[in-house]
Structures are given as C-alpha cells and as structure tokens.
Structure 1
Amino acid sequence: MLAKLKEFVKLHQNDMILLIGVILISLLSFAMGYIVAKEQEKEPIRIEQNIHEFRCEFYAPQK
C-alpha cells in the first residue's frame, strides 16, 4: 500500500507541486487584497432622502 502511494507521488510530483503553488499564490493574493481593503476602510454610504420623497420630486417638480 505504501509502495503504491510512493509510486503515485513520484509519478505526479510535478502536478502536485504546480497545484500547491497555485493554491499558495491564490491564498496570498486573497490575503493581500483583504489587508489592503481593511486599510482603506471608508465611511459607509448613507441615504439621507426617503425614496418616496425622491419619487414625488422627480415626477412633480417643485415650482
């Protein structure tokens, strides 16, 4: 059983290294993006006008 596992690893070693590399780069990219986004936290957008008031002003402009 162990011999079969060793043979499988030897046979697919390059593919496994490539897969591990892709996963590590993906995780690193995600982490860097997450860190940058945390540093650039902005104040959330606030809606200060009621949608009903907006519709009334849009369809019936004030004189």
Structure 2
Amino acid sequence: MTHTVEPVVIAGSVSVGGQPVPVDVELLWERLQLAEERMRHAVAVRRAAPVRRSRSRGGDRQS
C-alpha cells in the first residue's frame, strides 16, 4: 500500500556534482503522481486479467 506524503523541500535545490541545481519541486511531484497513477492502473489491469495456468514441463506427464 502506498501512502502519499507532502513534499519536504530543503533549500529548494539539489546538488549535482557539487553544484546546486534549481528544481521545480511542484513539477517533480506532479510527474511522480502521474507515474504512480500509471503504475496503479497497470497493476489493476494485471490483477483483472484471467489467471493463466502454467504447463508442466514433462515431469508430470503420464504415458
């Protein structure tokens, strides 16, 4: 189960190679939420699909 949390911003930037890089935190949270929605949808589709039975590979065959 995923819990949504509010973003925590520390100084509003990140460091890449020791150099501060400005980040649009709201944009990052929006993209994360979109990715989470896509993942939830994919999981729901997979769970709704009929269960496929796996075939045994020779060991259980009766001749």
Mapped pair 1:41 → 2:50: yes
Greater relative contact order structure (CA < 8 Å, 6+ sep): 2
- Name the larger-Rg structure: 1
Gaps of 5+ in 1: 1-7, 51-63
Mapped pair 1:28 → 2:28: no
CA deviations on 1:34-63 (whole Å, 9 max, x unpaired) are 00000103223121512xxxxxxxxxxxxx
Gaps of 5+ in 2: 1-10, 13-21
CA–CA distance in structure 2, aligned partners of residues 36 and 46 of structure 1: 23
CA-atom RMSD in angstroms: 2.1
Q: Following superposition, which runs of at least 4 residues in structure 1 exceed 4 angstroms of deviation?
A: none
Number of residues of Structure 1 aligned to a counterpart in Structure 2 = 40
Shift of 1:30: 0.3
TM-score (norm 2): 0.51
SS of match in other structure, 1:27:
helix
Higher percent of residues as strand: 2
